[in-house]
Amino acid sequence: MKAIITGSTGMLGKGVLLECIDDPTVEQVLLINRKHLDISHPKVKEVIHKDFRDFSAIKEQLKDYDTCFHCMGVSSAGMSEEKFTEITYTMSKALATVLYSLNPNMIFNYVSGAGTDSAEKSNTMWARVKGKTENMILDMGFKDAYMFRPGAILPERGTKSNTKLYNTLYVITRPLFPLMKRMKSVTTTSRIGRAMINLYNHPQSLKHLEGADINKIANVE
């Protein structure tokens, strides 16, 4: 399997990357980042790309990949709907469009969030925008696509959030992690990575995956 990962400079994306590095079925990983990630491994290649609204400059480097783990995302806190839509929907559409043109048999995995509104009618701005993004990806025509809707995500393997507030909360709640991991609605960076890898060999009829679904798929042998 050859995988493309976005968002690997963040907590979740790096967690997915670490699982890919350790998995023998993953032959090659291409990271698309806006800033360099300080990691070196024989199966990992990184391309620095600043404008996620247009991938034409790196199009030739995106050919012949089997799956995409689209982990890039931002918090909507303090952000206008226009700006959040640009980052969440417009950039995802640009990525999905170019990847579908090159690799129509690809499996596309998108990290959305619990509470996302598929009807695109929610009073909550981010839920509408993410619902629109999910629908766009599902309708693109890929061989398969999965929308990850995790609620609480616990960091593992030394991964850290780029948001200081979240890191503070993780430090405070870390003693509770063992208990929290037993909750069906709670998942981890490692479980999400495992689930994404497993979906390549174990297709699911369910396309919108909540925390409990992610945990179940992560444990598939």
Q: Is 90 exceeded by the pLDDT of residue 163?
A: no
Distances (CA, A) of 103 to 53, 99, 217: 19, 6, 24
pLDDT, mean of residues 97-121: 97
Half-sphere exposure of 121 (CA within 13 A, CB side): 1
- Work out the mean pLDDT of the chain and round it to a whole number: 95
pLDDT per residue as tens digits for the range 167-196: 778 888 888 888 888 888 899 999 999 999
Domains defined along the chain, listed by start: 2-218 (3.40.50.720)
Sheet of strand 144-149, all strands in order from the earlier edge strand to the far edge = 44-48, 28-33, 2-6, 67-70, 107-111, 144-149, 208-210
> Measuring CA to CA, which residue among 104, 91, 77 is closest to residue 166?
77
pLDDT per residue as tens digits for the range 135-161: 999 999 999 999 999 999 999 988 988
- For residue 71, name the pLDDT band (cuts at 50, 70, 90): very high
pLDDT per residue as tens digits for the range 4-23: 999 999 999 999 999 999 99
